[in-house]
Structure 1
Amino acid sequence: MRPTPSRLFRAAGRCLQHENPLGLPKSGSIPRMQRGLPVQRNIKDVAKVIAVSSAKGGVGKSTIAANLALAFARMGHRSGILDTDIFGPSIPTLFNLSGEPRLSANNQLLPLTNYGVKTMSMGYLVGEDAPVVWRGMMVMKALQQLLHEVEWGGLDVLVLDLPPGTGDTQLSITQGVKLDGSVIITTPHTLAVKDAIKGINMFKKTSVPLLGLVSNMSLFTCPHCQGQTHVFGHTGDRVQQLCLDHEIELLGDIPLHQSVGDDGMRGKPTVVAEPESERAAAFMDIARKVGDKIGLA
């Protein structure tokens, strides 16, 4: 009987008790990983890989990552998104998907698809309300399986939705996967901008190209009086200065609008829920800029 995905992940947990949990060679040449220098690998059958990151939670990173993947699909590209947040996966909710993925003939996880985008997430492999109470090594093993044991079937672009922060998961991805670039998400709030700098510096230290920054939730337009309010105060200059200081492009500004959050929570993000809206146009514009930067044909 072929193992199910959940059995594979349980087996991953058991193997961590072994002295050689990653199955590294015991003799011969020493891999770079054992010397503290991970070997960067391509993700099989994926042409371009971009990381969407924020060093701070609550800035709308996953919502933007989902809409970017959908924008690429709308542009005619074979698009996918990988949720690398082991502890707090968001992609199943945003794409209205659930259930355990099947395994291919090669025992690879088969992505779940909606709106023309292939997706993979830890959220498909554990119960919706089940906490992932794992130690670091188990998390890293699961992450490697998500990165390299999924049968994408040929993608033009894969969006990696990174968890907040600059810790083990982010470093494992930036040092172990060949990335075509990264996109930083922030809000104009002072604390978010300060943390965005940490994310920018992480990608610089790991030599990952910075494609640009997206400012989220900065301007609110009242649907009744059409008056505009800067939710975090007149702090747009702070974001502009951040881009100037670090020589990265401001890719776009996503306004604060109730529909963006509502669309995501009902599993139909803005690009597909309101394709003709100004908000969808903003996501499409950012996707076109990113596509041009990474040479997405």
Structure 2
Amino acid sequence: MVTENEVLKALRQIMDPDLRKDIVSLGFVRDLKIEDGVVSFRIVLTTPACPVKDEMARQAERLVAELQGVTKVNVTMDAEVPRGRGVANNLELPNVKNIIAVSSGKGGVGKSTVAVNLAVSLALDGARVGLMDADVYGPNVPIMLGVKSYEPQILERKLVPTEAHGIKMISMALLAAPDQAMIMRGPMLHGVVRQFLSDVAWGELDYLIVDMPPGTGDVQLSLAQLVAVQGAVLVTTPQTVSTADVRRALKMFQTVGVPILGIIENMSYFTPPDMPEKRYYIFGEGGGKKLAEEYKVPFLGEIPLGIEVREAGDMGIPVVISSPGSPQAKSFKKVAEEVARQVSIEAMKQELVILTKSK
């Protein structure tokens, strides 16, 4: 009869490609049961968006099935997003595992569009996601999610966020008249960020995506000071004017101790619908990738320019839902998988140090 140790020894041959440790040492193998030659277990990965999930399941099934005495193998693939860095200076959000800042050096690069589609893509993969619109001066997230009305509700002295397309969301646009100008100085902005973090009933979240205002101002500093941000995702276009400003944003996050999860290049190229084989690099080519290589941070991917994205934003239905087969939607989903992967790597760093020291 096959033993538990034999099964675990076989599964140690499977390596996580990002964490570079075997799945047994990482604690991914759970609920192992052996009954009359039937071996059942779960493999709990660090993200529901893992691109090698199916391949890992096949490999586990094959390795265990080869053991003497095994008649059947039941592999269940699951995900449990690890909690990010420890609690920072002031606020504790015990139910939020990872806070991700989506930022840019300048406006007009599609940062909010990226934040919305990133959040919805992660939710489509099975994660619990919240989206905090911290772009106080230009809060457009409700439009992009199709939220046209909001009746504030209080639950246990906290504001209940609205829900759309599988994610929770809060924005200044929900709490003010549509044409009201947001005239705020530093202390007021700090107060808004604090309230959106601590006075909103976010519930259990794997990821809280924060859509930041462009630049390197008060909101960025407030977020870094108030909570432990797992990492920042920087959005740029290929052109030099955009990448020059992203350099400043990157340096700012590094200065305040926020890891850079990577760079996304938006509006990378345009492909005419009637000529899908052609690409026009309207804003230049490769600027985002070159910047990532220069600063030795991950390049998370390219998002092509397309009318589908603009139409989806105006309709209030993100392109990953309205046109899931479009090149733009496929790119957003791939980028979301890469962001989730980088978050898991960042979150697991401390555990990997412990594993290494124990050997």
Alpha-carbon shift at residue 100 of structure 1 (Å) = 3.8
Larger RCO (CA within 8 A; separation ≥ 6): 1
Alpha-carbon shift at residue 143 of structure 1 (Å) = 2.1
Mapped to 2, the partners of 1:176 and 1:246 lie a distance apart of 26
Q: Which piece of structure 1 moves more, 162-171 or 223-232?
A: 223-232
The answer to whether residue 207 in structure 2 is matched with residue 157 in structure 1 is yes
Partner SS, residue 47 of structure 1: coil
Mapped to 2, the partners of 1:41 and 1:179 lie a distance apart of 11
The answer to whether residue 290 in structure 2 is matched with residue 241 in structure 1 is yes
Partner SS, residue 267 of structure 2: strand
Alpha-carbon shift at residue 274 of structure 1 (Å) = 1.2
Aligned equivalent of 1:264, options 280, 300, 313: 313
Alpha-carbon shift at residue 228 of structure 1 (Å) = 1.7
- Give, as a single letter, the amino acid of the residue that structure 1 aligns with 2:187: M
Structure showing greater radius of gyration is 2
Aligned equivalent of 2:330, options 281, 284, 293: 281
Aligned equivalent of 2:101, options 35, 38, 51: 51
Q: Which piece of structure 1 moves more, 147-156 or 61-70?
A: 147-156
The answer to whether residue 197 in structure 2 is matched with residue 119 in structure 1 is no
Mapped to 2, the partners of 1:211 and 1:140 lie a distance apart of 24
Give the equivalent residue in structure 2 for 1:136: 186
2:153–2:160: 8 Å Cα contact kept in structure 1? yes
Mapped to 2, the partners of 1:83 and 1:287 lie a distance apart of 18
Give the equivalent residue in structure 1 for 2:159: 109
Mapped to 2, the partners of 1:286 and 1:148 lie a distance apart of 29
Alpha-carbon deviations, 1:169-228, whole Å to 9, x = none?
A: 111112221111110000011100000101110111111111110001021112223432
Mapped to 2, the partners of 1:165 and 1:134 lie a distance apart of 16
Alpha-carbon deviations, 1:44-84, whole Å to 9, x = none?
A: 42111111000100000000000010001100011110000
Alpha-carbon shift at residue 43 of structure 1 (Å) = 2.9
Alpha-carbon deviations, 1:224-259, whole Å to 9, x = none?
A: 2343211023x31x3332111100111110001011
- Give, as a single letter, the amino acid of the residue that structure 2 aligns with 1:275: P
Q: Which piece of structure 1 moves more, 137-146 or 214-223?
A: 137-146
Alpha-carbon shift at residue 101 of structure 1 (Å) = 4.3
Give the equivalent residue in structure 2 for 1:220: 270
Alpha-carbon shift at residue 294 of structure 1 (Å) = 1.6
Q: 1:97 to 1:209 in 2, by over 3 A?
A: same
Alpha-carbon shift at residue 276 of structure 1 (Å) = 2.4
1:40–1:178: 8 Å Cα contact kept in structure 2? no
Give the equivalent residue in structure 2 for 1:167: 217
The answer to whether residue 283 in structure 2 is matched with residue 232 in structure 1 is yes
1:80–1:155: 8 Å Cα contact kept in structure 2? yes
Give the equivalent residue in structure 1 for 2:234: 184
Q: 1:182 to 1:215 in 2, by over 3 A?
A: same
Partner SS, residue 154 of structure 2: coil
Alpha-carbon deviations, 1:121-170, whole Å to 9, x = none?
A: 01100011111223332222122111211001211111000010101111
Mapped to 1, the partners of 2:289 and 2:128 lie a distance apart of 33
Mapped to 2, the partners of 1:135 and 1:290 lie a distance apart of 32
Mapped to 2, the partners of 1:146 and 1:217 lie a distance apart of 30
Alpha-carbon shift at residue 262 of structure 1 (Å) = 1.2
Q: How does 1:3-152 map to 2 (within 5 A)?
A: 39-152=89-202
Give the equivalent residue in structure 2 for 1:28: none
1:43–1:148: 8 Å Cα contact kept in structure 2? yes
Q: 1:240 to 1:139 in 2, by over 3 A?
A: closer
Q: 1:70 to 1:105 in 2, by over 3 A?
A: closer
Give the equivalent residue in structure 1 for 2:72: none
Mapped to 2, the partners of 1:189 and 1:39 lie a distance apart of 37
Q: Identity over aligned residues, as a percent?
A: 38
- Give, as a single letter, the amino acid of the residue that structure 2 aligns with 1:138: M
Partner SS, residue 183 of structure 1: strand
- Give, as a single letter, the amino acid of the residue that structure 1 aligns with 2:317: K
Q: TM-score, normalised by structure 2?
A: 0.69
- Give, as a single letter, the amino acid of the residue that structure 2 aligns with 1:231: I
